Amino acid sequence: MPKQIILAAHFPGVNNTTVWSDPRAGSQIDFGSFEYLARTAERGLFDFFFLAEGLRLREQRGLIHDLDVVGRPDTLTVLTALAAVTTHLGLAGTLNATYHEPYELARQLATLDHLSGGRAAWNVVTSPGAFFGENFRRGGFLDHADRYVRAGEFIQAARTLWDSDGGDFHIQSSQFDIKGRFGVPRSPQGHPVILQAGDSDGGRELAARHSDAIFSRHHQLADAQEFYRDVKGRLASYGRLPDSLKIIPGVSYVLGDSDADAQEKAHHIRRQQVSPQTAILLLEQLWNRDLSAYDPEGPLPSADPLLDEDETIVKGRAGMYPDRLKTAAEWRARAEAKNLSIRDLIIEVTGRQNFIGTASSVAASLNEYVQTDACDGFILVPHLTPAGLDDFVDQVVPLLQERGVFRTSYEATTLRGNLGLA
Amino acid sequence: MTLHVAVALTGSSFDASRWVDQIRRADEAGIDFATFDDTFGRSGPDAVLVASRVAPLTRSIGLVPVATTTRTEPFHLSTALATLDHVSHGRAGWQVRISADPAEAELLGRRAPLGVDDLISEAADAVEVVRRLWDSWQDDAIIKDVPTGRYIDRDRLHYIDFTGEHFTVKGPSIVPRPPQGQPVIAALAHAAQIWDRLDVDVYFTTPSDVDSAATIVRQIRAHGRTDKLVFADLVVFLAGDQETAIRRRAATTSDAAVFAGTPEQLAGLIAGWEPSGISGIRLRPGDDEHDLTAITRDLIPLLRERGLFTPSAEPDLRTRLGLPAAVNRYEGAARA
Ligand SMILES: Cc1cc2nc3c(=O)[nH]c(=O)nc-3n(C[C@H](O)[C@H](O)[C@H](O)COP(=O)(O)O)c2cc1C
């Protein structure tokens, strides 16, 4: 039997993938939008629904970023409400290990697992520095280098609490010293599903040791295969089998009646995603300097990026450019070769859709990724709220089912069961 | 004068269908709001999440979970409650609680237990932070202005810059302003110190009879809290005959008065308390299942017949309770 594909629905987030300027774009905060997308995902027999989270509004040049969607509901609260309007769909929330405490969060996740009949999942993220800390009691208390020390101990503490089945516990580690009785009996999944979304060596190690799935950003075929080999290769030293860790990149797609039609749509969406103002802001994220005086329809700056990684121009978002000079040189070469303006270049080099084509070519590509071990499935990131996955569910899901690589009914009532995790 | 009627649920069930069934019955009876009890140390689900779980399946009942300010993050409380208000279309509230229990301190760790006086100061600061964060987005902050490419007008978002003894919080919130602007905040107020220090909308009080209810209302008004609602809490054991009710009550004691009798007798008692000036009654069912059924099925119709209670048609909790529309403190303020 071929590998079965995991599918998840990412609620459109607070970055420029989400097109709010389209007349069809609905509310980013009304519960109705969340319910619509969750019901769509469940109609498509998806494994889970996914929410990202950031604990402070992003800033650029010291000002609240105003060009992308801003603001979203609290993760656990909205997922628990979604449990009321869905029956099989997993409910995955991103929650920060730095600015929560194990007893409280383990109790909330176990509550969600009970109140959803075993559908809770936690995407464990760490924090990009002290910026978030200004909203919390302890401020920026944790060294960047210790982010995975705390995250690892946090997951272990949560697992100890979940295993205590309402009994006594005593947890002592470098980050935590807590004891007492955990007030939640064993939840339907025992342990909610754990996802991890860090990409550094520390993040990969944490995933190999503690998590059930990775939300990755590797989506070029060869790069994704390399990531897959790397992370799965780390499992043996923790006594784990390759199948016990699922690799699920976040991807976007565009469907068309023909490949040309899909390409045209994709380009139109990219122009919506990269407004002239957004083009300058995205360029600043690499250049790390104020470029507000530049014309988005003009050429790239001649000066090089600033390399001060302690004072980045963007706050509240993980760094995306490990080697600024190298990337800038690549962008310059490309812009010169094709005579591209700043905006045209940004449209080409950032966030291009991963799968573009007819429903059948997209279905074939997705399947190729999974069968050639580039990943185990996909977290689909639509660009429109809330109807952005309608076409996928209506057109691509049936083709995956025909190929025998996607379920035709839910196998289990719990998320663990549907993901085939122990 | 009609009274508001609320119920206080203390259940520890992890069965969602049981909660949905109970809250639906209270909703259908027209009860103004339900409070959901909680502490960290108890065996039971997180109350904010229970309220959220029932929200999409109920219509007009207010949903008021207990959440503790001791050791929790005011930022997380604010965003969770704002979201409860979004998912319930304006029916959210919050019953503030402090925890002086040393065993609870050990569950959360990190900090030596504080004295009650400090815990109340901290709770007052937490309420202030939560309220400021709810206001930190003006209602019209989302502009979706295509020509300038702007999704929000950042001048309508505000840093709250709160600095207190226990925490500093920068803001703004990560959640747009809740539908009610300010969800309803309540506290159980056994002692006069709470009345001055916490900026709440609703006090739950524990009078023993009509005279003590009148005294409490007078005291609260004398503290300058003229615009606050005062609810009298009452533990109730109901049965078709008084003997059975008294047997069910057994040796129950409570911080609130304990009633055992028939629904008719309880309606009579509530009629007797009404002239004290209280705004409403919060009934604490002796048993969540049995007594809640007796309240919704038997007591509410009796109260309606006597003109003591009229279900409100208002969809949001503030309006239901007659609280004024929330004015945003940052309206007209300078940019963030
Ligand atoms: C695909 C992906 C999605 C992420 N989503 C979030 C998010 O929603 N919220 C957040 O605070 N961090 C998010 N992160 C950041 C990471 O979880 C992590 O905290 C950060 O990348 C630093 O860890 P690292 O150095 O191991 O990459 C995401 C990262 C990746 C790769």
Quote ipTM for the complex.
Answer: 0.97
**Is position B327 within any domain?**
no
Report how far ligand 1's centroid is from the alpha carbon of A200 (Å): 10
Calculate mean pLDDT across residues B131-147: 97
For chain A, the domain total comes to: 2
Last residue of a domain, one of A333, A349, A365: A349
Cβ within 8 Å of A, B 58-77: 71-73, 75-76
Residues A181 and A205 placed together within one structural domain of the fold:
yes
**Least confident stretch, A100-109, A204-213, B70-79, B110-119:** B110-119
* In a shared domain, residues A345 and A358: no
Flag whether A235 is in a domain: yes
Q: Are residues A77 and A213 in the same domain?
A: yes
Reading the block at residue B323, the tokens are 């609280």
CATH of the domain at A120: 3.20.20.30
- Report the residue from A66, A71, A84 with minimal CB separation from B174: A71
Give the chain B residue whose CA is nearest to the CA of A53: B174
Residue B332 lies inside a defined structural domain of this protein: no
Instruction: Give the per-residue pLDDT at B334.
Output: 56
In a domain, B231, yes or no: yes
| pLDDT at site B333 | 67
Residue with tokens 């007893």: A103
Torsion of CA B261, B263, B267, B273, to 10 degrees: 30
Domain that holds residue A85: 6-256+354-419
**A71 contacts B152? CB cut-off 8 A:** yes
Task: Give the C-alpha separation, B53 to A407, whole Å.
Answer: 28
Structural domain contains residue A109? yes
Within a domain: B266:
yes
A261 burial type by CB count under 10 A (0-12 exposed, 13-18 middle, 19+ buried):
middle
The CA A144 to ligand 1 mean position distance, Å, reads: 13
Q: Cβ of B287 under 8 Å from any chain A Cβ?
A: no
Work out the average pLDDT over A125-148.
90
Pair (A304, A399) in one structural domain: no
Give yes or no: residues A33 and A63 share one domain: yes
- Please answer whether residues A158 and A105 qualify as being in contact, where contact means their C-beta atoms are separated by less than 8 angstroms: yes
Tell me how far apart the 2 most distant CA atoms of chain B are, in Å.
74
| A 257-316 residues with CB < 8 A to B | 275-278
Residue B145 lies in a domain: yes
pLDDT at B237 over 80: yes
Is the CB of residue A28 less than 8 Å from the CB of residue A385? Answer: yes
- Test B52 with A81 for CB contact under 8 angstroms: yes
Together in a domain, A165 and A300: no
Same domain, yes or no: A315 and A208: no
- Residue with the bigger pLDDT between A307 and A228: it is A228
Instruction: Pick from B37, B43, B68, B151 the residue to mutate for testing the A interface (most A CBs within 10 Å).
Output: B151
- Is position A263 within any domain? no
Q: What is the pLDDT of residues B273-320, one digit of tens each?
A: 999 999 999 999 999 999 999 999 999 999 999 999 999 999 999 999
Full-model pTM? 0.97
Ligand 1: residue whose CA is nearest its atom 24: A198
Residues of A in contact with B175 (CB under 8 A): 29, 71-74
> What is the residue type of B34?
A
Residues A315 and A399 in one domain: no
Q: Is residue B241 part of a domain?
A: yes
Of B83, B89, B170, the CB nearest to A73: B83
Same domain, yes or no: A188 and A110: yes
Banded pLDDT at B206 (limits 50, 70, 90): very high
Maximum CA pair distance of chain A? 67
Nearest atom in ligand 1 to the alpha carbon of residue A196 is: 17
Residue B303: the pLDDT is: 98
Rounded distance between C-alpha atoms, residue A124 and residue B300, angstroms: 47
The pLDDT confidence band at residue B227, using thresholds 50, 70 and 90, is: confident
Residue A42 has pLDDT above 80, yes or no: yes
CATH number at residue B34: 3.20.20.30
Size of interface A-B (CB pairs under 8 A): 180
**By CA distance, what is B164's nearest residue in A?**
A137
Average pLDDT over residues A250-273: 98
Instruction: Give the start-end residues of each E strand in A52-117.
Output: 59-60, 63-64, 90-96
Query: A183 CB near a chain B CB, below 8 Å?
Result: yes
DSSP code, position A377: E
Q: Give a yes or no: residue A268 inside a domain.
A: no
Judgement on whether residues A227 and A323 belong to the same structural domain of the protein: no
Q: Is residue B56 part of a domain?
A: yes
Residue A258 burial (CB count, 10 A)? 11
**Tens-digit pLDDT profile for residues B258-269:** 999 999 999 999
- Indicate whether A297 and A369 sit together in one domain: no
Are A327 and A388 found together in one domain? Answer: no
Q: Is residue B334 in a domain?
A: no
Cα separation, A23 vs A20, in Å, equals: 8
Domain hosting B86: range is: 4-320
What are the pLDDT digits (tens) for A91-110?
A: 999 999 999 999 999 999 99
Mutation pick from B13, B15, B50, B52 vs chain A, by most beta carbons of A within 10 Å, is B52
Into how many domains does chain B fold?
Answer: 1
E strand residue ranges, A11-134 = 48-51, 59-60, 63-64, 90-96, 120-125
